[in-house]
Structure 1
Amino acid sequence: MEIKLKKQIETLEREITLKSVDLDEDIEDFNVDIHDFKNQDKLITISPRCVRCNLCVEECPINVISSSTWLKRAKIGEGCVQCEICAQTCPVSCIYVWDAESEIKENDSVEYTLREIKVPHRNLKMEDISINREECIGCGSCLKYCPTNAISLRSKEYIEAHGEACPSAGAIDTEDGNMFSYIDKNRCCGCGSCANLCIQGAISLKRDLGPVVIYSHIDVNQDICVACELCEDNCPVDAIKVVDGEIFLNNDKCIRCKECTSRCPVGALNLVLDD
């Protein structure tokens, strides 16, 4: 997937000026010239298809993703180090990693190009899921975001015929009679959206989430390291230590986020894709 956006330079310069000058300053004294500019970076976004499972929130190693609610999807906040773990974890692949490039074009416009970067996906399997009928109030909140339509409203007779005890209380009163939430385990993917949204905490889920897929590593060149310790100071998961002028990297803790490589003043650390 590739997305292109354009904005006129004059418009962008005006926006920068308005954001850069205090309201009580004379805006005419502040000029911006952004010609001959090109920048490339990585961007991670969460699409509106978010199913409110909060798996990305739970798995973010530095806790910068805010929880989703019934009304809003999860949101990646400031401080994201672009480790891609959230994108690998999302059970419905609605978190995208982009190669983001911005460039000044000859027609005095700024062109933004987003190219999707395909990332490997972690395995996710539902082991068991159940509804506590004593706690369920029959509100139906568990149905809305289920990505596989594994949850439906069923009659007491249907649920009991499928091996579940079903009390008369807690039913949703419809034209078809009293209906209850029912989970088809054969269709459940184990995302946990229903459990996260249940206001009663009536849904219990056991799932198996596979390990993060490792397809790169940090290459360390000890010969040119100057022992400035910037890598250690900026590692968000405390995976690097500099001892007696030598870098020690804990690969089990490292999340391949490039914080250390981008901070190293001599290029002693580099993120390398595995063959």
Structure 2
Amino acid sequence: MKTLEISIDKVVEMVLDRVEDADEDTVLEVLSETPAVRREFVTIDPERCVGCKTCYEECPVDALTEPDSTNPPEVDHDACVRCRLCAKSCPVDAIKVVSGEARVTKDSIEVKLEEVDVIRRKFVLRKAILRKDRCIACRLCEQICPVEAPNIDKLRIDEDKCIGCKACEHACPVDAIVIERTLTPPEFEREIELDQDMCIGCEVCVEVCPVDAVEMEGDVANISYDRCIRCGECARNCPTGAIKIKEVREEV
């Protein structure tokens, strides 16, 4: 866990620089009444990212820009629903989930950052083909592959090395590479619990669910766990606390 401290004076200075008509007394009053804030977010290591596009393809809310061999994806943190699927699906562990907590003290804002341990999905390689009739020996596939599976001198891809990330397929300018693979279904570190006795039938959970996993059955909500990605948007928006997020990582 990493802990950072930012002085209150520095925070006030930053707010005054950015917010028109703000005054020091108001900023200090707001800070004094601010409870601890906890938020989860994802970070992407550009040095590890190979531009395979798996995270981009798996994101259910289009919160990631489309990457390529030279530009990693960027995260739209406002659109992100914190489902962790991008991190679970990254074949090279370039995406991390970080839990951050900010707490206001008398003299500073204390920020604690801790990496969340997610259950990674497995890639099952079906076929890796390098088409000899198309290859122009540009060697982009060799440059981008994280495990040195393509061998242009031998015009083949070593399936014993290949992890099925598809980085070479996306990088190839002449479509000479075909990678066929499947991903194992995601496993979850948390569960979503619904107390239907507390549900008031407001349908907010139905509206905010990014994968249509919540439906109304009569006057109460019902969650289809086969579709649910455990992002927690329903729980975060439920006005009565009828839906809760339960961390179960240790039990998995």
Aligned to 1:199: 173
Task: Determine the C-alpha separation between the residues in 2 that align with 1:27 and 1:39.
Answer: 22
Structure 1 stretches (4+) deviating beyond 3 angstroms? 26-31
- Any stretches of 5+ residues in structure 1 without a counterpart? 160-180
Q: 1:220 to 1:54 in 2, by over 3 A?
A: same
1:128-183 deviation digits (Å, cap 9, x = unpaired) = 111122222222221223111223442xxxx2xxxxxxxxxxxxxxxxxxxxx642
Give the secondary-structure state (helix, strand or coil) at the position aligned to 2:55.
Answer: helix
What percentage of residue pairs aligned between the two structures are identical? 31
Aligned to 1:214: 188
Aligned to 2:130: 131
Task: Determine the C-alpha separation between the residues in 1 that align with 2:14 and 2:103.
Answer: 17
Residue 4 of structure 1, CA deviation = 2.8
Q: Which amino acid aligns with 2:64?
A: I
Q: Would you say the 8 A contact 1:17–1:31 is kept in 2?
A: no
1:68-103 deviation digits (Å, cap 9, x = unpaired) = 123211122131000011111111112111110112
Q: Which amino acid aligns with 1:88?
A: K
Aligned to 2:27: 32
Counterpart selection for 2:42 from 19, 40, 44: 44
Q: More helix by proportion, 1 or 2?
A: 2
Task: Determine the C-alpha separation between the residues in 1 that align with 2:246 and 2:24.
Answer: 46
TM value normalised by structure 1:
0.81
Q: Would you say the 8 A contact 1:217–1:273 is kept in 2?
A: yes
Matches within 5 A, 1:126-275: 126-154=125-153, 159=154, 182-274=156-248, 275=251
Give the secondary-structure state (helix, strand or coil) at the position aligned to 2:181.
Answer: strand
Task: Determine the C-alpha separation between the residues in 2 that align with 1:30 and 1:137.
Answer: 67
Task: Determine the C-alpha separation between the residues in 1 that align with 2:190 and 2:135.
Answer: 45
Larger mean Cα displacement after TM superposition, 108-117 or 92-101: 108-117
Give the secondary-structure state (helix, strand or coil) at the position aligned to 1:113.
Answer: strand
Residue 31 of structure 1, CA deviation = 4.5
How many residues align? The count is: 244
Q: Which amino acid aligns with 2:128?
A: I
- Any stretches of 5+ residues in structure 2 without a counterpart? none
**Structure 2 residue 59 is the aligned partner of structure 1 residue 56:** no
Residue 13 of structure 1, CA deviation = 2.1
Task: Determine the C-alpha separation between the residues in 2 that align with 1:27 and 1:247.
Answer: 43
Structure with higher Rg: it is 1
**Structure 2 residue 85 is the aligned partner of structure 1 residue 85:** yes
Task: Determine the C-alpha separation between the residues in 1 that align with 2:182 and 2:22.
Answer: 57
**Structure 2 residue 72 is the aligned partner of structure 1 residue 70:** no
